[in-house]
Chain A
């Protein structure tokens, strides 16, 4: 009896296994739906940006489906996304990527939020040869590993603040400047730092403070005291939203006078809202701003996108949402050019992508990073107590002149 039972169990498991592999081989396209998968941070420390990312994806899926969907071999298909919550945890994200690919049979992936999680997922998608278009992993190390199935619509991290150094040098009459910098010790911020090192070398600038902030730190007083003592021309800070908020709080409290202050994550930190006038004149790197003049037929202009997004989700879209929406446009374009659901055909089509979206031009370099779109810089400017971000560089889209140098605290009201 026991033997029969064992045999039975084996038989059932074999059938289940066969079924699983059977379904997965067809699950990439189910009926009229092209199924994409994404692990996304809906809980945990990245959950707010994770939600921005998801909203961006959903907005684009709705829009593309409403406007006729994706046409492959004369048939119209719609997008559908399977999401799993990765709890902002890289290990979990990698597991979920496996699950999406092996159990749910997903053949095309959208990226998670943050460089760290993208780094965790990329080896998995690479192993199974699954094309992944990601919109929120900017770390340079993603693009130097020779990944063949990874495509990023955003500019790599090392480009974030290079423009700021160029701007400072320009204001200094083409001569090198003295740079003080403080970066958090994580993949992204350290890549931003590498960009600054390159820019410093290129422009003959000198780095006089080079602090690495521990991840759990929310006090920069020591770094700022040093900055006060050595008086650099530029202060560069990058440490996600916590870094941006801490920097502004302590710079204003300690009355640190620097002619130029460049940061990342001002947008996500809602800097101008949380710190108001104290954040004025801060220069921030951004992937996108709604005032840029790029266009596409799905969302129209950046301004139109921002308006529609506001209507749907009730807040102004941060760049994290815009770039996520762009990822879907890239996928649609690639499917239609490949005119097939073959993974490698889609991958090859992605390699040849050259298009304009409301978010910017997209063309992938050999490492998979977007090489067609520059970073932009905006500066926080206030009228009374009302502060907003205004684009100051590159000059092509600048709505305002770059204000330099920052007035001393003693002269600020």
Chain B
């Protein structure tokens, strides 16, 4: 039973991480920017949901309101900072987004205070196997919403004009530009969509976990890891690697102990990177 509980907890958490990672993979793939502020955008989205909760609106509405606001935050951020680093070295983008992360943390601290806060969804609990496995409905809700948005986004990317433009830009920005795609607009929209995804994830975190201005970094690191494992522009892989990471974390917790939970994840990352290099080097032997 313990293992069933662990698996379900892991998968539900993993789906949420996968959503954040998908946003990161998208803008990394399209713009070649590693966004260190990803986690802070998530937390800001969470605070938007928390704010409407304080106003007496059910925080679940956050999954609609928060991405709308966050889209414009992302758009604005692109126009203000990101457009200046988009064609530059990867290192410059890391520095710039690191700066943005610090500014966001301090701003959130200033506006919302340094207290840890939670929004209450009052969704209750689903109990399985005679109460020995419990699943918070808020977590099921959050997984469901994540999947819903992810699927919607995939369809949008395939069918819509903007989606096609984004994919074209990701494949070859110069060619897309020559063929009449306004890449500047595509970049802004991509960054906006990424921020909106963060907004959704944040709203879900406000009802499932806790919010604090300084807890953004772990989300950045997790999504970074998922993207590294899954590769860019590959949504099914992002979903699988997200869930896999969630599962791995829960099981590491049970088997090795809670103190090794994060350590185990990093060990896994090192292992995967080494393994990939090993595989690649085999493929490219003729190059040497």
Q: Do A and B come from one complex?
A: yes
Query: Which residues does A use to contact B, with CB under 8 Å?
Result: 43-49, 182, 185, 211-214, 216-219, 221-223, 225-226, 228-229, 240-242, 245-246, 249-250, 253-255, 268-270, 274-276
B155 in contact (CB, < 8 A): no
Residue on A with the closest CB to B251? A222
With a cutoff of 8 Å between Cβ atoms, the chain A residues found around residue B182 in the complex are none
Question: What 1/0 mask marks residues of chain B from 1 to 37 whose CB sits below 8 Å from any chain A CB?
Answer: 1100110010001000000000000000000000000
Please indicate the chain A residues that have their CB under 8 angstroms from the CB of B231 in the complex.
none
The contact string, 1 if C-beta is below 8 Å from chain A, for chain B 35-69, is 00000000000000000000000000000000000
**CA of A225 to CA of B2 in the docked complex: distance in angstroms?**
7
Knowing A44-B109, A47-B114, the reply to whether A246 touches B254 (Cβ < 8 A) is no
| B217 and A222 form a contact (CB under 8 A) | no
The docked-state distance in angstroms from the alpha carbon of A48 to that of B258 is 29
A-B contacts, 30 listed (Cβ < 8 Å): A44-B109, A45-B114, A46-B114, A48-B115, A49-B114, A211-B258, A211-B259, A216-B218, A217-B258, A217-B262, A218-B209, A218-B210, A222-B6, A222-B9, A225-B5, A225-B6, A226-B254, A228-B132, A229-B2, A245-B116, A245-B117, A253-B136, A253-B138, A253-B139, A254-B125, A254-B134, A255-B134, A268-B115, A275-B120, A276-B120
- Complex: A49 Cα to B116 Cα, angstroms: 12
B164: CB under 8 A from chain A? no
Q: Which residues of B contact A44 (CB under 8 A)?
A: 109, 114, 214
- Indicate if the CB atoms of A254 and B1 lie closer than 8 Å: no
A45-B214, A214-B258, A214-B261 are known contacts. Are A255 and B113 too (CB-CB below 8 A)?
A: no
Bound Cα distance from A398 to B212, whole angstroms:
34
**Chain B residues near A (Cβ < 8 Å):** 1-2, 5-6, 9, 13, 106, 109-110, 113-118, 120, 125, 127, 131-132, 134, 136, 138-139, 209-210, 212-215, 217-218, 250, 253-254, 257-259, 261-262
Residues from chain A with Cβ under 8 Å of B115 in the complex: 48, 241, 268-270
Residues of A within 8 A of B210 (CB): 218, 242, 245-246, 249
Tell me which of B13, B106, B131 contacts A43 (CB under 8 A). B106
The contact of B254 among A213, A217, A222, A269, by CB within 8 Å, is A222
Chain B residue numbers with a CB within 8 Å of A241 are 115-116
Q: Is the CB of B120 within 8 A of A221?
A: no
CA distance in complex: A217, B114 (Å): 17
A64 to chain B, nearest CB (A): 28
Bound-state Cα–Cα, A115 to B104, Å: 27
Residues on the B chain within 8 Å of A223, using CB = 253, 258
Contact pick for B250, options A221, A253, A255, CB 8 Å:
A221
Q: Is the CB of B253 within 8 A of A185?
A: no
Complex CA gap A269/B210 in Å reads: 11
Q: Is the CB of A214 within 8 A of B118?
A: no
| Contacts known (A221-B9, A275-B120); A214 close to B109, Cβ less than 8 A | no
Whether A242 touches B116, Cβ cut-off 8 Å, given contacts A221-B9, A226-B2, A254-B134, is: yes
Partner of A216, one of B113, B217, B253: B217
Q: How far is the CB of A380 from chain B (nearest CB, A)?
A: 15
Q: Which of B1, B134, B215 has the most CB of A within 10 A?
A: B134
B253 touches A222 (CB 8 A): yes
- Contact call B1/A229, Cβ cutoff below 8 A: yes
Task: List the B side residues contacting A225 at CB < 8 Å.
Answer: 2, 5-6, 9, 254
Q: Which residue in chain A gives the minimum CB-CB distance to B127?
A: A255
User: 9 extra interchain contacts, Cβ-Cβ under 8 A, other than A47-B114, A218-B215?
Assistant: A43-B109, A49-B114, A214-B262, A216-B262, A225-B5, A240-B116, A246-B209, A249-B210, A268-B115
CB distance from A211 to the nearest CB of B (A): 4
Closest 4 CB pairs of A and B: A253-B136, A222-B253, A212-B259, A211-B258
Chain B residues, Cβ within 8 Å of A254: 125, 134, 136
Residue from A182, A213, A226 whose CB has the most chain B CB atoms within 10 Å = A226
A218 partner residues in chain B, CB cutoff 8 A: 209-210, 215
Whole-angstrom CA separation of A47 from B115 in the bound complex: 8
Complex formed: what's the CA distance from A341 to B104 in Å?
45
Q: How far is the CB of A314 from chain B (nearest CB, A)?
A: 14
**Which A residues lie within 8 Å of B2 (CB)?**
225-226, 229
Q: How far is the CA of A214 from the CA of B117 in the complex (A)?
A: 19
Inter-subunit contact B212/A242 (CB<8 Å): yes
CB-CB under 8 A from A229, the residues of chain B are 1-2
**Set of chain A residues within 8 Å of B257, measured between Cβ atoms:** 211-212
Contact B125 A275 (CB under 8 A): no
A217 & B261 in contact (Cβ 8 Å cutoff): yes
Q: How far is the CA of A210 from the CA of B116 in the complex (A)?
A: 24
Query: Which A residues are CB-close (under 8 A) to B113?
Result: 47-48
Kindly identify which residue among B1, B209, B258 contacts A212, using a CB–CB cutoff of 8 Å.
Answer: B258
CA distance A216 to B258 in the complex (A): 12
Q: Which residues of B contact A275 (CB under 8 A)?
A: 118, 120
Chain A nearest CB: distance from B259 CB in Å?
4
B134 & A253 in contact (Cβ 8 Å cutoff): yes
- Nearest chain B residue, comparing its CB with the CB of A49: B114
How distant is the Cα of A225 from the Cα of B133 in the complex, in angstroms?
8
Q: Which B residues lie within 8 Å of A221 (CB)?
A: 5, 9, 13, 250
